[in-house]
């Protein structure tokens, strides 16, 4: 009797009382939500003050088609049986006429403020007031081949890289398109380890994607790193001669030895 709509919380399915009712009736929580909707609509349609005279718990069960549901509501304090009537506690705060009037008045004022503000905005200012959802949808619909942008604007003073950071798919796609000679996942891990180890302000950046792009651009290819490792070894001439002498095969000749005395004659 208070209108053709009722107010229900968006997190109702996780409410402790819903969980208790679900456990007591061995029923799915979403079915409990449906039962609550049916009961609250019944009171909204036929009650001014949250009470239904001449109703019983069995009558409520029969009207919504669920035996034992009214008793479960009573056990958690969401339904009160008083003599020959049943009532909903705090009905006026949620779905009574005054509660609905307050909700509608709040919504009307919000719409008026929005309409008034929209009239005063310039074209550029109105563009900046796009909803967050619209911005995210725009960021996600980036054409192929165009460098991706961050979906969240960078903090003006910089932020640290999150310890749980993982390489985003669009960052990976950019790196593959620009540096296919690299092992991108290995580069990303080095990037993460480097910046997580940076202390203080040195470890903060205003735009982490731009930092990653510069990191990838400066990264040497795997072939260049391999050649650089070989060329960095200094030539040691002594070690080279010793190594060659060690590697040269030795030939032993079996020869006769003649011993001559100091008089030039054989000693025998």
**Burial class for 116, CB neighbours closer than 10 Å (0-12, 13-18, 19+):** exposed
Look-up of token digits 């069995």: 58
Look up residue 10 and give its two tokens. Answer: 């968006």
Furthest C-alpha separation in the chain: 152
Q: What is the mean pLDDT of residues 170-181?
A: 93
pLDDT digits (tens, 9 = 90+) for 124-150: 555 555 555 566 666 555 444 444 444
pLDDT digits (tens, 9 = 90+) for 216-256: 999 987 666 666 555 556 666 666 666 666 565 655 555 55
Q: Which domain holds residue 51?
A: 12-97
Q: pLDDT at residue 257 above 90?
A: no
- Predicted pLDDT at 155: 52
Say if 200 falls within a structural domain.
yes
Say if 153 falls within a structural domain.
yes
CB atoms within 10 A of CB 185: 11
Say if 231 falls within a structural domain.
no
Are residues 153 and 88 part of one domain? no
Domain boundary, last residue among 82, 97, 112: 97
Residues in Cβ contact with 119 at an 8 Å cutoff, skipping those fewer than 6 apart: none
- Predicted pLDDT at 170: 93
**Burial class for 77, CB neighbours closer than 10 Å (0-12, 13-18, 19+):** exposed
* Torsion angles phi and psi, residue 82, rounded to 5: -130, 100
Q: pLDDT at residue 118 above 60?
A: no
pLDDT digits (tens, 9 = 90+) for 63-73: 999 999 999 99
* Helical (H) or strand (E) element with 160: strand 159-160
- Predicted pLDDT at 241: 67
Note whether 29 and 19 are within 8 A (CB).
yes
Residues in Cβ contact with 266 at an 8 Å cutoff, skipping those fewer than 6 apart: 260
Alpha carbon distance, N-terminus to C-terminus of the chain = 146
- Predicted pLDDT at 128: 59
pLDDT digits (tens, 9 = 90+) for 3-62: 577 778 889 989 999 999 999 999 999 999 999 999 988 988 888 888 899 999 999 999
Are residues 152 and 93 part of one domain? no
Are residues 81 and 22 part of one domain? yes
Say if 168 falls within a structural domain.
yes
Degrees (nearest 5) of the Cα angle 96, 40, 90? Answer: 45
- Predicted pLDDT at 4: 74
CATH label of the domain that carries residue 63: 1.10.10
- Write down the H helix ranges in 47-183: 57-64, 69-75, 91-94, 97-120, 123-128, 132-140, 169-178
Domain boundary, last residue among 69, 97, 125: 97
Q: Which one, of 62, 92, 56, lies nearest residue 74 by Cα? A: 56
* Torsion angles phi and psi, residue 159, rounded to 5: -135, 165
Say if 203 falls within a structural domain.
yes
Q: Which one, of 190, 232, 150, lies nearest residue 182 by Cα? A: 190
Say if 235 falls within a structural domain.
no
Q: What is the mean pLDDT of residues 151-171?
A: 80
Q: What domain count does the chain have? A: 2
Say if 107 falls within a structural domain.
no
Are residues 219 and 153 part of one domain? yes
Domain boundary, last residue among 63, 97, 131: 97
Sheet hosting strand 80-82, strand order edge to edge: 51-53, 85-87, 80-82
Say if 240 falls within a structural domain.
no
């Amino acid at each position: 009797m208070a209108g053709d709509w009722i107010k229900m919380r968006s997190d109702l399915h996780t409410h402790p009382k819903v969980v208790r009712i679900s456990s007591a009736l061995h029923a799915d929580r979403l079915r409990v939500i449906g039962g609550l909707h049916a009961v609250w609509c019944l009171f909204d349609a036929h009650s001014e003050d949250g009470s239904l005279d001449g109703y019983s718990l069995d009558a409520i069960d029969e009207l919504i088609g669920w035996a034992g549901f009214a008793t479960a509501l009573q056990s958690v304090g969401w339904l009160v049986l008083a003599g020959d009537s049943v009532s909903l506690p705090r009905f006026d705060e949620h779905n009574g006429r005054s509660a609905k009037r307050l909700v509608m008045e709040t919504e009307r004022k919000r719409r008026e403020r929005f309409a008034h503000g929209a009239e005063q905005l310039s074209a550029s200012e109105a563009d900046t007031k796009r909803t967050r959802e619209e911005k995210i949808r725009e960021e996600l619909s980036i054409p192929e081949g165009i460098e991706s942008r961050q979906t969240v604007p960078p903090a003006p003073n910089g932020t640290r890289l999150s310890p749980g950071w993982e390489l985003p798919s669009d960052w990976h796609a950019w790196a593959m398109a620009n540096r296919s000679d690299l092992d991108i996942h290995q580069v990303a891990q080095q990037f993460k380890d480097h910046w997580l180890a940076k202390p203080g302000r040195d470890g903060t950046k205003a735009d982490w994607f731009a930092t990653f792009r510069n990191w990838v651009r400066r990264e040497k290819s795997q072939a260049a790193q391999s050649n650089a490792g070989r060329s960095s070894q200094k030539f040691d001439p002594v070690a080279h001669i010793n190594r060659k002498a060690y590697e040269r095969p030795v030939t032993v000749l079996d020869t006769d030895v003649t011993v001559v005395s100091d008089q030039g004659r054989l000693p025998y």
